[in-house]
Amino acid sequence: MRHVIGSCLTKTDNFNKGDLERKVEKINICAYPNQSGPKYPTVNHWVLFLQCSPTSSVKVDMYHMGIGTLEISSKKYSHTDQAVHMFSLEPTREFTVDDFVNLVGTERLYRYDFTDEEYREGCRFWNYTVIE
């Protein structure tokens, strides 16, 4: 946990550290609709929800702020109801939120450069890389 939480590239203001010990039951991968206006008409924003119960999750969101910024936040729902696309994965082995965050830290996946400034693409690939 220290790798990611201590990084200046990570935002954890809305993260309950008690969630670290929670078992991940499902990984919900959601695409938010484009909010950037007509300049980016085909780009959705993809995020992960580490579902810990039917009514709670930890949202893992890599977003573009000049350089990639990772936001980890506790939620009182399993996934967003604002998604235009969503699919779920069952874990192939048991792991906790802390295991996931440590993987991100160990593999330095909290440091991410998106494609050029004009298109801001990369969150979908980042999610693919983390899940792989």
Q: Is the dihedral of CA 41, 127, 29, 4 positive or negative?
A: negative
73 class by beta-carbon count within 10 Å (0-12 exposed, 13-18 middle, 19+ buried): middle
Q: Is the pLDDT of residue 110 over 90?
A: no
* Averaged pLDDT for residues 106-128: 65
Strand duo 45-53 + 85-89: pairing: unpaired
User: 34-43, 74-83, 89-98: lowest mean pLDDT where?
Assistant: 34-43
* Residue whose entry in the numeric block shows the structure tokens 């967003």: 80
- Identify the residue with better confidence: 107 or 10: 107
Q: In which band, very low, low, confident or very high, does the pLDDT at 106 lie, cut at 50, 70 and 90?
A: confident
pLDDT of residue 121: 59
* Cβ 62 vs Cβ 112: under 8 Å: yes
Round to whole Å and give the CA distance between 99 and 89.
Answer: 17
- Does position 40 have pLDDT exceeding 60, yes or no? no
For 58, phi then psi, to 5°, come to: -120, 120
Share of the chain above pLDDT 90, in %: 43
The DSSP call for residue 23 is B
Residue 88: closest CA among 25, 24, 27: 27
Whether the pLDDT of residue 16 is over 60: the answer is: yes
Which DSSP helix (H) or strand (E) runs through 2? helix 2-5
